[in-house]
Amino acid sequence: MNQFDNKLYRILAVDDELTVLGLYEQILSPPTAMNDSSSKQTKMADKTLMGELAFDVTCCNQGDQAVEAVKLSLKEGSPFAVAFLDLHMPPGPDGHWTAEQIQKLDPGINVILVTGYYDTPLGIAPVKSELTDQQLYLQKPFHRQEIIQFATALSTKWQAERELRKLHSEMESLIEERTEELLQANRQLKIEVENRRTAQKALHMSEMNFRNMIRNNADGILIFDKNSIVQFMNPAAENIFGMRAEQLVGQTFDHLVVPGKPIELDLISGDGKSVTAEMRVMNTEWEGEPAYLASLRDITERKLMQLELQNNLDDLKQAVNGTIKAIALTVEIRDPYTSGHQHRVAHLARAIAGEIELSGDQAEGVYTAAAIHDIGKISLPAEILSKPVKLTDIEIQMIQAHSQVGYDILKGIDFPWPIARIVLQHHERMDGSGYPNGLVGEEILLEARILGVADVVETMASHRPYRPSMGIDKALEEVSQNKTVLYDPRVVDACLRLFTDKGFEFPSL
């Protein structure tokens, strides 16, 4: 069992001052009484009993040494979760260079840039870094608890992201597998339809060729007069009906006849076997008199295949819906105070979509996006989600990143709707004051505008750790007063009608 399986998270500490490196080891990996190879296991067990994470600290005093340490960790399959980098480490490269190099090697690593200079913009990642959502600043001198909190929160985030990437990969594989099955079945149906068209063209041959052709046709052929008396029956039709031609010729054909329109017949053949046949009827002549030609094909096997195809499609929809529910529950399990939030928002969003007369398919897309709109919060530490007091600026920035994280998770999945973009934009506002991109008015997807209103109403009407429920009246007052400024007026009016005129209520879990 390796360190990752045991939740012994690896921490990289880089500083040109040996005393600072000693502090990292003393804070995150205090020495044990044991000197043998089992000391790390003992340390991890002790911390687990205390409710803390256990860390394995690797120290380097220069940036290039840190880069080599990351290369070695990846080669050994035991990557670092968090790196504390000093910004200034003469005579070698600085912390910015080191951060850029190690994040090129391992994009999943979380970086805290540590500086003793008071003019450093805390909480803002350097402009030249492409992974700003995974870099934070920390001012020296730091406090022991700051180091522990950073290491714990970011290690937990690192763990959650790895597990989520695995879940994402498994979901994509399932969708690709089922999609290929459906495409293969569709190709088979297209081949059958094409064969059917070829057979129908042959019916336009001359009368002599016509007689010879229908007698040997693979499809069953019946010819009956204007009074529905059967005049001819070919061998294929004998097989379908399970009787000889002389038993049916001269008898009344007692099934509905609609020229030009295919119909299905459920037959009990002469030998007692159930048969489903597709019949197409066309006007023709027989021995100089107006007549009907009925072409029958045994589609019993095709009906069974269509039933199996539909069952597979239903199973695929159920599997995808189950996966979406599982993703949604992943966030809510980590944040019990908002349990059911996404479920209730999804029901309101779908109702609003119906009220403004979006198509059923478009409304289903709104519902699906709403059901997982907070998936990005899986990257946040649980203690931030349930914090009962005002959040710090850094914590607010981390929470606001959840819509971008949600987009990054979902963008590679081939949904029938723009789910990833809806999730990305659900905190954008009509006047451009929203996030993450400050979109304005029609730049925001209509589905995202619907989700934004539903999210605000449900959030204000529900209890949160930092405040009691404000009530549905307050929530409706908020969206009504900010109609046009923050929220789409058409969406707000539809929401108000649902609650005031149509008695909409949030579903109970």
Does residue 91 share a domain with residue 25?
yes
Residue 130 lies in a domain: yes
Q: Is residue 379 part of a domain?
A: yes
How far is residue 266's CA from residue 275's CA, in Å, rounded to a whole number?
6
Query: Residues 437, 426: contact at Cβ < 8 Å?
Result: no
pLDDT interval class at 117 (50, 70, 90): low
Instruction: Indicate if 363 and 447 belong to the same structural domain.
Output: yes
Query: Measured between alpha carbons, how far is 123 from 157 in angstroms, rounded to an integer?
Result: 17
Same domain, 314 and 262: no
Q: Residue 382: which CATH number?
A: 1.10.3210.10
Is 348's pLDDT higher than 70? Answer: yes
Q: Note the pLDDT of residue 179.
A: 78
- pLDDT of 261 reads 76
Of these ranges, 30-44, 288-302, 399-413, the one predicted with the greatest mean pLDDT is 399-413
Q: How does the average pLDDT of the chain come out, rounded?
A: 81
Judge if 265 and 315 occupy the same domain.
no
Q: Which of 277, 298, 319 is a domain's end point?
A: 298
Structural domain that includes position 139: 8-162
**Which residue among 111, 146, 162 closes a domain?**
162
Domain boundary among the residues 104, 137, 162 is at 162
Residue 121 lies in a domain: yes
pLDDT of amino acid 358: 92
Q: Kindly state whether residues 224 and 106 are assigned to the same domain.
A: no
Looking at residue 336, what is its pLDDT?
Answer: 65
Residue 315 and residue 293 share a domain: no
Residue 334 and residue 268 share a domain: no
Same domain, 348 and 291: no
Q: Are 68 and 23 within one domain?
A: yes
Task: Provide the number of structural domains found in the chain.
Answer: 3
Residue 279: alpha-carbon gap to chain centroid = 43
Of 157-166, 168-177, 256-265, 331-340, which gets the smallest average pLDDT?
331-340
Q: What is the pTM of this model?
A: 0.45
Domain presence at residue 303: no
Same domain, 232 and 125: no
What pLDDT is attached to residue 43?
52
- Say if residue 335's pLDDT is above 70: no
Give φ, ψ of 168 to 5 degrees.
-60, -45
Does residue 419 lie in a domain region? yes
Q: 18-28 and 144-201 are packed helices; what angle lies between their axes, rounded to 10 degrees?
A: 70
In terms of average pLDDT, the best of 23-37, 98-112, 165-179, 181-195 is 98-112
- Residue 24, both tokens: 């990292």
Is residue 55 a part of any domain in this protein? yes
DSSP state, residue 391: P
pLDDT of 394: 85
314 and 294, same structural domain?
Answer: no
Query: Model confidence over 63-86: pLDDT tens digits?
Result: 999 999 999 999 999 999 999 999
Categorize the per-residue pLDDT at 211 as very low, low, confident or very high, splitting at 50, 70 and 90: low
Quick check: is 229 in a domain? yes
CB-based contacts of 491, cutoff 8 Å, min separation 6:
352, 356, 446, 449, 450, 453
List, in sequence order, the alpha helices (H) in 121-143: none
Q: Give yes or no for residue 228 having a pLDDT over 90.
A: no
pLDDT bracket for residue 189 (50, 70, 90): confident
Could you give the residue ranges of the DSSP H alpha helices within 50-94? Answer: 63-75
pLDDT at 34 over 50: no
Do both 127 and 50 map to the same domain?
yes
184-198, 225-239, 365-379, 465-479, range with greatest mean pLDDT: 365-379
Residue 45 maps to a domain: yes
Q: Bigger pLDDT: 101 or 335?
A: 101
- State the pLDDT at residue 381: 77
